[in-house]
Chains A and B, each alone.
Chain A
Amino acid sequence: MASVRFKNVDKWFGKTQVLHDINLDIKESEFVVLVGPSGCGKSTTLRLLAGLEDISAGDIYINDKIVNLLEPQHRNIAMVFQNYALYPHKNVQENIIFGLKRAKASRDLIESRLDKASKMLQLQEFLQRKPAQLSGGQRQRVAMGRAIVRDADVFLFDEPLSNLDAKLRNQMRYEIRRIHREYQTTSVYVTHDQVEAMTLGDRVVVMKDGYIEQVGTPMELYLQPKNIFVATFIGAPSMNILDATLYPEYIELEGQKLPLATNLVKTSVPSDGQKVKFGIRPDFFQDEQLISAGEALTTLPNVHIDIIEPLGYDRELNLKLGHQTLKARLDLRSTAREGDTINLCFDMRRAHIFDIETEKNLTI
């Protein structure tokens, strides 16, 4: 187990800078997820930590020791790759113990580690098989086994689940959680899937264009996104971002004046008629007809229902408010139908106001 620290790290590929001043502290045993769209620099960050690429400026520490110049084989890390990267000419057992053998571990140690890992990953039956004879999920488990027997300081995961189908992905997510609970190894996990990020990470790092946008626990990111990018990237369906005008006491949205909640009033910019972006998650809407009396909610009246997508328990409503479109997720009790209008309620304290220029959240 080890701590990891990025201090003012830059990375250039030729003349393009792909990472800008990355600062990140990862505590012992912490599970940190790097998430962002492709090209945001998350994989590069991971590869810098692994030592597969040089850093251009700054320092990387593992256990308070600078590792900038260390080769990957000397960093005591284990890595799980997107395409599994198993050694095709070695069977499952040889794959798993390869690293231990290179480290000249004793035979007893190798056997006990192999035993524990193969039980944990349910690979006992497959130890003599070649990777080509395994299914995708089994291969990913072998890759995982190869990492956990090593007793490495840090586990690195580079989009390990993106080659699996949806069902297997859920199952493997669960196994990764179990492994982390069992081994408590510091882990850095890269993904473009915000669901994986939310479900796996103790903390999540949202990245974009080589910058860290926000670092926080999944709920912090969900409830207090620092800017429009984080707000829309985290959570599905993503947050509605609507054009609005801000006044000291209320916000005007397509001609409707909605009184501001106290937390929004307090932080809002002193301005009369400033154009802003108003953000509210589809999850936070409710059908006015189903509200029990006494809840202090704001109502958005007469919203036109364009399309309804039934998803089982939930129904996703695609709505029209003036010229703008928005989404609401209501539960199955709502009887709204396509073509109707609906009065939507929400808690103004859950809403956000973003600056139209900087896209920063003005309410936190």
Chain B
Amino acid sequence: MVSMELTPEQRESRLGWQLIAPCLGVIGLLIIYPILYNIYLSFFDVKLTGDKIFIGLANYERLLKDAAFYGSVLTTIIYLIGTVVGTTLVALLVALLMNIEFPLRSLVRTLILLPYFAPVISVVFGWQFIFDPVNGIYNHVMVEVLGLAAERHNLIGQPKTALFVVIVFDIWKHFPISYLLIVSKLQSINKDQYEAAAIDGYGPFGRFIHVTLPELYFVLGTLVILRLIWNLNKFEDVYLLAPNVQTLPIFTYYTAFTGIIDQGFAASISVVQFALLAFLIYFYVKKVLKW
């Protein structure tokens, strides 16, 4: 047998490659190759028939002149800032609240996680209903109960206001996971530190600033950057709730699959988005993981 000539470590190494090979194959074929193929496609005019004509940088030139693209970039930026700031703040507040002891706390902690685990598809229409101009509770409260608005608005019907609804929805949907990470960090903070700070004369606020926040610094940093990365990739959460809010992924989707289909142009949008993502990942790797 040939294998008899290998040392145990060499055999281990060979087994390692054998076991990882299927994964590498699938990932290479269906993730790495498509990323490269996408860049390739962005230099072509891709016909519906599958024919391709090389057009160099024409797609990118068009992109730079496209007002809709800039609109989409702006929407994406507002969406990212709104959701990242909102998710992190809400998560931090809720985590601090859930770090206080009270009866039924573990039940409450579990219930809080529900929005995160609920499928997007089974909650978006509930949110649609809440903001429905005719039947929705939002308009009822704003107009009839509080009198803050003169008439009922179709918030989701207007791209500008719909963006706001999408942001609130995303905060609702995603703060639980950030909360979970913050609360598990909070619980790992040594009680002695608080007691030492209390003896040193710090009140609750001072203890928060001098003990809690420094401990959470790393977790919060991770959450902000990961949330940026995830939300840059979000499609379902935005599209299903408000198809008129055109963040980059939705803009790409419309360009690639609806109306005047132009997949070459769509590919070039993806490349731009990919570059942005790669930058964020690089930042994450350097600053957070410190490779």
Contact = CB atoms under 8 A, between A and B. Distances in A.
Q: Do chains A and B touch in the complex (CB under 8 A)?
A: yes
Interface of A: 51-54, 68-72
Contacts of A54: 7-10
In terms of DSSP, what is the predominant structure of the interface of chain B?
Answer: helix
B4 to A, nearest CB: 7
B105 interface: no
B11 A71 contact: yes
A52 B7 CA distance: 11
Interface string B1-32: 00011111111000000000000000000000
B198 to A, nearest CB: 34
B9 A69 contact: no
Nearest to A51: B8
A73 to B, nearest CB: 10
Contacts of A70: 8
A242 to B, nearest CB: 44
Nearest to A55: B7
A53 B4 contact: no
Contact of A53 (B5, B6, B9, B11): B9
Q: Give 3 nearest A-B pairs by CB, closest first.
A: A54-B9, A54-B7, A71-B8
A68 B10 CA distance: 12
Interface of B: 4-11
B35 to A, nearest CB: 33
Contacts of A69: 4-8
A49 to B, nearest CB: 12
Nearest to A52: B8
Contacts of B5: 69
Nearest to A50: B8
Contact of A72 (B4, B7, B8): B8
A70 B8 CA distance: 7
Nearest to B4: A69
Given A53-B9, A54-B9, A72-B8, 10 more contacts: A51-B8, A53-B8, A69-B4, A69-B5, A69-B6, A69-B7, A69-B8, A70-B8, A71-B8, A71-B11
Contacts of A52: 8
A346 to B, nearest CB: 49
Nearest to A73: B8
Contacts of B8: 51-54, 69-72
B101 to A, nearest CB: 28
A53 to B, nearest CB: 7
A56 to B, nearest CB: 10
B206 to A, nearest CB: 41
Best-surrounded residue of A51, A69, A71, A72 (most CB of chain B within 10 A):
A69
A53 B11 CA distance: 11
Most buried by A among B5, B7, B11: B7
Contacts of A51: 8
Nearest to A69: B7
B7 to A, nearest CB: 5
A47 B8 CA distance: 12
A72 B8 CA distance: 8
18 contacts: A51-B8, A52-B8, A53-B8, A53-B9, A54-B7, A54-B8, A54-B9, A54-B10, A68-B7, A69-B4, A69-B5, A69-B6, A69-B7, A69-B8, A70-B8, A71-B8, A71-B11, A72-B8
A355 B8 CA distance: 43
A213 to B, nearest CB: 28
A51 B10 CA distance: 12
Nearest to A74: B8
Among A53, A54, A72, max chain B CB count under 10 A is at A54
Contacts of B4: 69
A53 B4 CA distance: 16
A293 to B, nearest CB: 61
Contacts of A68: 7
A120 B269 CA distance: 73
A68 B11 CA distance: 13
A69 B8 CA distance: 6
A54 B7 CA distance: 7
A69 B7 CA distance: 5
Contacts of B11: 71
B15 to A, nearest CB: 11
A54 B6 CA distance: 10
Contacts of B10: 54
Nearest to B9: A54
A46 to B, nearest CB: 15
B74 to A, nearest CB: 51
A220 to B, nearest CB: 35
Nearest to A75: B8
A68 B9 CA distance: 11
Contacts of B9: 53-54
A7 B5 CA distance: 20
A262 to B, nearest CB: 54
A68 B7 CA distance: 7
A111 to B, nearest CB: 33
